[in-house]
Structure 1
């Protein structure tokens, strides 16, 4: 522990009057919470739109529109003469059935993907930022009649959904100051093993920092993937808990669907040759200097598609490819934004499921079951407290 930590000496940022950028600053906490509210609103809206016949492009546009519209209504006052930046932190993605993630089709490519049908299992992912403070979430829903306690889902669907959401809830609860990323990873693995399912290769949880959606502090839950640097969680940090679970082997591949989501690689430089590439990159540098974006955000999708190739070939942009498992696999995703507050980890963005609506012939190990019960009791107490405040 440093002297500054021992003696509570002001940091250089505090001495210079700069904003402290973690949850010890109540203004920062408020911005994370406001971003989370917008994420939850957009997620809820997209869930309601996931009906038979819905087009994936329209669902993606709807989610993005909710975020941008709501962002325009908050923090309208300029700070030191500068408008507060806010908007999409991760474009809305709609990944159906064996499609794992990052599916956000362009308007010009809308007809290449069929509309939703009853029985489809849909993974929705999106994100918002307020002044660079990011909230993200992902949720899995079934098109048509949703499972209920009276008519529960069974078999592989129940195993995957229970494993996914219980692992995510337990991972969030395990992110306490002093805990390590290996402990959280093991928590997720134990749940997956209990239900006989696999964690999808490439699944990661990242620290969220101002304008950084993939922070360097990470959790890699799948055991056969290279381990990242060992980390210890600290108070006032923020994390994206992300769990992707499948009934298959969990080794997805890129399919025929072209990539539409990219992120600028800020440490790379190259003198682009094509006008279309230079024009696109100039727009990206101004509008999306650090956060992921979709080519749908540009007025001319054809020109954007033309220009992005050279940028990717020379590593100026990091692609988020559309990944697929095998046909017939049941795949679910749960993603939460978790604030490591003094009172404990708090899920502020994302949605749980009704565990009673899924009946599996498998059960959690005793330790995980006890931890889940404690997490559920805490969540219920928080919900009751929030409801009580609203009534007052």
Structure 2
């Protein structure tokens, strides 16, 4: 006999249609929030104002759902809106007092997440503030991230292992003369868990090792790809820039300062599980109180990391559901027109990109007849990615609509 706990655990994966619906609803809101944030990214606009709009949109949209159910359903921001510019790698979501603005030509990395009942959808996208196609090394680094994401999407499938993805994305980045940024992890997602134990390393080296893991049907992953024209070694320049934290639920400590106790009580009440931004707390008290909470490991910080000035950094992150009929990428946004200086010639990478992401339907899934000599794919199969110089733009046409 299964215990109640086991039964609940069993029901809360993708075998439950209700769970799939919640993931897809969260993804739809995340995609729309991303679209809104991109439309707000204009020269001379304050970054904090755009981050606030992204978070408010998610809160508002999720607040309209499941209003009339008896059981209270948690929902809202799963990861605060971040806008990291140029050589800043990630997690820049400044406090209200910050005056930083965007400038023409900035390479902007947007990162955000939404959850419904703890079922999380995250997305990150890179956009350059300019008219016309993105060219040169800026185009290379975005194409490297996008192509690596497309390869990862095809290799995160039942039977494949996490190390297969790590090796492949590094090979893709190298073909654009770029590096995958070290220290970035792609995590399995579970209900109320944004950083599950099954992970994919971005770069394997002696300092960072993870357990070998195999992908399985009905799992959900957040695939996180960050590429750089520099060394790919992130640096922490200023701890004061860190504003995003997550409650470490397994840690306890009796805080000494009154401000710390006040802030920690507010965090426990408002953000017991999901990452949050210090903007959402009372700012003066937060500055004082957060330090003691972090020093005693009650909070896990998400530091703002940087590459060297002058280096370009691109970020693409998506959420994928490993459904019985194949992989379903539920968060994405079309790229700008890219004209990279490099093209993909490597046969192994081309073979990965040609893989379908849906499995053939059992039974009588007949192939459609095309013109003579045409190879027509099963509609359940994914469209392979175009790998020409302007492949990223061609790919855009195949994924313009965020997946439902």
Q: Judge same fold: TM > 0.5, yes or no.
A: yes
CA distance in 2: counterparts of 1:199 and 1:17, whole angstroms: 38
Q: Detail structure 1 runs of 4+ shifted over 3 Å in the superposition.
A: 10-19, 373-381, 383-387
Confirm or deny that 1:137 pairs with 2:112.
no
Q: Counterpart of 2:298?
A: 316
CA distance in 1: counterparts of 2:21 and 2:110, whole angstroms: 25
Say which SS state the counterpart of residue 241 (structure 2) adopts.
coil
Shift of 1:181: 0.2
Shift of 1:19: 6.9
CA distance in 2: counterparts of 1:15 and 1:227, whole angstroms: 30
Confirm or deny that 1:346 pairs with 2:332.
no
Within 5 Å, give how 1:103-182 maps onto structure 2. Answer: 103-108=92-97, 110-111=98-99, 113=100, 115-147=101-133, 153-182=134-163
Shift of 1:156: 1.4
Q: Counterpart of 2:254?
A: 271
Q: Confirm or deny: 8 A CA contact 1:240 1:337 kept in the other structure.
A: yes
Within 5 Å, give how 1:1-392 maps onto structure 2. Answer: 11-13=2-4, 20-78=11-69, 81-108=70-97, 110-111=98-99, 113=100, 115-147=101-133, 153-224=134-205, 225-256=207-238, 257-298=240-281, 300-353=282-335, 357-375=338-356, 378-380=381-383
Q: Deviations over 1:264-296 (max 9, x none)?
A: 111111100111111111111121111100011
CA distance in 2: counterparts of 1:202 and 1:146, whole angstroms: 33
Say which SS state the counterpart of residue 353 (structure 1) adopts.
coil
CA distance in 1: counterparts of 2:22 and 2:342, whole angstroms: 43
CA distance in 1: counterparts of 2:79 and 2:399, whole angstroms: 31
CA distance in 2: counterparts of 1:372 and 1:106, whole angstroms: 41
CA distance in 1: counterparts of 2:51 and 2:157, whole angstroms: 34
CA separation of 1:276 and 1:35: change in aligned 2, threshold 3 A: same
CA separation of 1:58 and 1:101: change in aligned 2, threshold 3 A: same
CA distance in 2: counterparts of 1:16 and 1:217, whole angstroms: 21
Say which SS state the counterpart of residue 82 (structure 1) adopts.
coil
Higher helix share: 1
CA separation of 1:385 and 1:74: change in aligned 2, threshold 3 A: same
CA distance in 1: counterparts of 2:7 and 2:329, whole angstroms: 32
CA distance in 2: counterparts of 1:208 and 1:74, whole angstroms: 21
CA separation of 1:18 and 1:268: change in aligned 2, threshold 3 A: closer
Shift of 1:380: 4.7
Shift of 1:56: 0.3
Shift of 1:379: 4.5
Q: Confirm or deny: 8 A CA contact 1:245 1:331 kept in the other structure.
A: yes
> Normalising to structure 1: TM-score of the pair?
0.88
CA distance in 1: counterparts of 2:324 and 2:194, whole angstroms: 23
Shift of 1:229: 0.2
Say which SS state the counterpart of residue 215 (structure 1) adopts.
coil
RMSD (Å), alpha carbons = 2.4
CA distance in 2: counterparts of 1:20 and 1:211, whole angstroms: 15
Structure 2 gaps of 5+ residues are 358-376, 385-396
Shift of 1:53: 1.2
Shift of 1:346: 1.1
CA separation of 1:159 and 1:27: change in aligned 2, threshold 3 A: same
Structure 1 gaps of 5+ residues are 1-9, 148-152
Shift of 1:357: 2.5
CA distance in 2: counterparts of 1:15 and 1:311, whole angstroms: 34
